Amino acid sequence: MIEILFYILSTLTIGSAVLTILSKNPIHSAIWLVVSFFSIAGHYILLNAQFLGMVHIMVYSGAIMILMLFTIMLMNLNVTNEIQKPFVTKIVATISFCLVGVLLLSIAMRANQSFELNYAQTGEDFQSVHVLGKILLDEYVVPFEMVAILLLLSMIGAVLISKKDKKVA
């Protein structure tokens, strides 16, 4: 059952990543990127790293994508204003991409090494949210609060930078 879910999530990840690149509309591209992020979070959950999967959803699918959408909307991207690349440039880029892909594939095929992972059993559960929350809010409460203040100040700064000045006529 887990293998079937892995293949479904892998297909969804690769498909949405390809659609992110191939989409003409930047908003559609950002939405496909969100789908890709969600499917990667599904991979984390399949690997029994639930906390990492949830943080991935909150940070990447939430905060980063909202930031990207604000940037896209502030830039006001129009297809009519976009300069088209020459056909020769597109061909050279495609050939370069294919050569790098073949190079990476040949390196991966030559590296036929197998790794064996041995985990020491300590009896402590470092994956649980309870243990992580206890460590964050007991030992590292000051750095945790400093990061929260830094993020709040950066959000206020981004709003002030993007705010348009009203021109007095």
Task: List pLDDT tens digits, range 87-140.
Answer: 888 899 899 989 998 988 888 777 766 656 565 666 666 666 777 778 878 888
pLDDT at 168 exceeding the cut of 60: no
Please state the three-class secondary structure of the chain as a single string: CHHHHHHHHHHHHHHHHHHHHHCCCHHHHHHHHHHHHHHHHHHHHHCCCHHHHHHHHHHHHHHHHHHHHHHHHHHCCCCCCCCCCCHHHHHHHHHHHHHHHHHHHHHHHHCCCCCCCCCCCCCCCCCCHHHHHHHHHHCCHHHHHHHHHHHHHHHHHHHHHHCCCCCCC
pLDDT for 28 equals: 86
pLDDT for 41 equals: 93
Task: List pLDDT tens digits, range 4-51.
Answer: 999 999 999 999 999 999 988 878 888 898 899 999 999 998 988 888
